[in-house]
């Protein structure tokens, strides 16, 4: 969560967060955004499976719709691999899941159950290995895998170039439209802290700040 941007707020950060934000504060382009919004950090989700299910619920719907579906789903079933696999399709439908998203969340549940995935299992994988494993699941694309890396696993150097908010942030920061390859190239300046940079890019354009806060908050 953002706090007042002053020296004390940055000094009170954990060493890894402070190192990342000190580097970004010194960037000519992103530094002013960091100062304006204060310290923003990435924290691992309490349950990577739940967080991935929430990401799927958010695909191609409004935040309000996803939040309502999430609330109904979490009230109706135990959101674990076993709980979702055991749930009746009618129960998931009543919670607001389409037939397609029912298939997607069950695909994810099967993958977690079959592979025994948990936080420790993912911790042993590189970013690219996590992406490869997750995108092999029907229903999990590059955007969802990157959201999992960033917001569930708290990996520090993720740049989700396919995200609309990131593209808007880059356009605002550079004051011009850019291709994805150009954005990836420009973002190299923020390595190895591109996850932190992404938090600020999402806020570089003020009219999307509220939506960004909802994306960052895995409970919504």
Query: pLDDT tens digits, residue range 49-74?
Result: 999 999 999 888 888 999 999 999 99
Tell me the whole-structure pTM to 2 decimals. Answer: 0.87
Tokens 């390859």, located at residue: 181
Rounded Cα distance, 220 and 35, in Å: 27
Rounded Cα distance, 27 and 174, in Å: 13
Torsion sign, CA atoms 112, 119, 12, 35: negative
User: Per CATH, which fold does 48-152 belong to?
Assistant: Endonuclease III; domain 1 (1.10.340)
In contact, 123 and 107? CB cutoff 8 Å: no
Q: Which whole number is the average pLDDT over 3-9?
A: 62
Phi/psi at 60 (5° precision): 60, 30
In contact, 140 and 104? CB cutoff 8 Å: yes
Rounded Cα distance, 87 and 85, in Å: 6
Q: Which whole number is the average pLDDT over 71-82?
A: 97
Query: pLDDT tens digits, residue range 97-119?
Result: 999 999 999 999 999 999 999 99
Phi-psi region of 141 (alpha: psi -120 to 50; beta: other; left: phi over 0): beta
pLDDT more than 70, % of the chain: 90
Q: What element of type H or E holds 126?
A: none
Q: Which whole number is the average pLDDT over 36-53?
A: 94
For the chain, the structural domain boundaries read 7-42+158-216, 48-152
Q: In angstroms, how far apart are the furthest CA atoms of the chain?
A: 54
Angle at 75 between CA 145 and CA 1, to 5 degrees: 50
On average, the pLDDT of the chain sits at: 91
* Residue 28 neighbours by CB under 8 Å, 6+ apart: none
pLDDT bin (cut points 50, 70, 90) of residue 172 is very high
In words, the CATH class of domain 7-42+158-216 is mainly alpha
Phi/psi at 95 (5° precision): -75, -15
Residue 214: per-residue pLDDT: 47
- What's the DSSP call for residue 140? -
């Amino acid at each position: 969560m953002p706090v007042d941007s002053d020296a004390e707020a940055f000094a009170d950060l954990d060493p890894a967060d402070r190192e990342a934000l000190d580097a970004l504060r010194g960037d000519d382009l992103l530094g002013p955004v960091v100062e304006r919004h204060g310290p923003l950090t990435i924290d691992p989700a309490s349950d990577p499976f739940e967080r991935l299910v929430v990401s799927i619920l958010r695909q191609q719907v409004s935040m309000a719709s996803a939040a309502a579906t999430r609330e109904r789903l979490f009230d109706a079933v135990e959101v674990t691999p076993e709980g979702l696999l055991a749930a009746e399709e009618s129960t998931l439908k009543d919670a607001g899941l389409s037939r397609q998203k029912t298939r997607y969340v069950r695909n994810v549940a099967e993958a977690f159950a079959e592979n025994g995935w948990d936080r420790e299992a993912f911790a042993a994988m590189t970013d690219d290995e996590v992406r490869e494993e997750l995108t092999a699941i029907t229903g999990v694309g590059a955007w969802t895998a990157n959201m999992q890396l960033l917001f569930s696993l708290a990996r520090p150097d993720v740049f989700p170039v396919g995200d609309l908010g990131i593209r808007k942030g880059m356009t605002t920061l550079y004051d011009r439209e850019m291709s994805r390859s150009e954005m990836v190239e420009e973002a190299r300046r923020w390595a190895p802290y591109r996850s932190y940079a992404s938090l600020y890019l999402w806020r570089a354009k003020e009219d999307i700040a509220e939506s960004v806060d909802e994306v960052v908050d895995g409970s919504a």
